[in-house]
Amino acid sequence: MRISKPYLRSTSIQCYLCLLLNSHFLTEAGIHVFILGRVSAGLPKTESNWQYVIRDLQKFENLIQSIHIDATLYTESSVHPSCKVTAMKCFLLEFHVIWQESNNMDVRETIENLIILANKSLSSNGNVTESGCKECEELEEKNVKEFLRSFNHIVQMFINTS
């Protein structure tokens, strides 16, 4: 089974477009188009990354239907918008716990992809410092289903504000 890794999206189309434009405009303007094309090809695509996180979350939910995960995980169920980055980091730490404890390669690959995509999307928030937020260990421990429901809710918060 081949896992799609959207965080490794190719930028070759943008490069070819730039080269095509550059070959027609061998002027200073053509060089600017080429440089701008290369810069835009490397910019993070955070808007769409959250959609891929949702897709991987759904895939993970489908995978765990067939396996039993008996875990309680620190879960932020009523996150305030001013603490969403802190809460997301806690969720990702808990996903890493699931990753470490799972022997199922499909589960591990899906979680790994989800973590990478979410971290890439979070990087657009820079080094946001949120004060007054709960530490991960202060959160209530909940079952996997409740954890996933809360995680989906916080991802939707990020989607609605981007």
Domains of the chain: 49-160 (1.20.1250.70)
Give the Cα separation of 40 and 27 in Å (integer): 20
pLDDT over 90, % of the chain: 44
Task: Say which amino acid occupies 139.
Answer: L
The predicted structure's pLDDT at residue 150: 95
Q: What is the pLDDT of residue 28?
A: 58
Mean of the per-residue pLDDT values of the chain: 78
What value does the mean pLDDT take over residues 65-75? Answer: 85
Residue 51 half-sphere exposure, CB side, CA atoms within 13 Å?
Answer: 6
The per-residue pLDDT for 14 is 52
* C-alpha distance across the termini of the chain, in Å: 32
The residue among 81, 86, 80, 76 whose CA lies nearest residue 128 is 86
Which has more pLDDT, 140 or 37? 140
Question: 124 near 26, Cβ under 8 Å?
Answer: no
Nearest-10 crossing angle of helices 46-63, 105-122: 160
- pLDDT, tens digit (0-9, with 9 covering 90-100), for 109-145: 999 999 999 999 888 765 677 888 999 999 999 999 9
Q: What is the pLDDT of residue 111?
A: 95
Q: Report whether pLDDT(34) > 60.
A: no
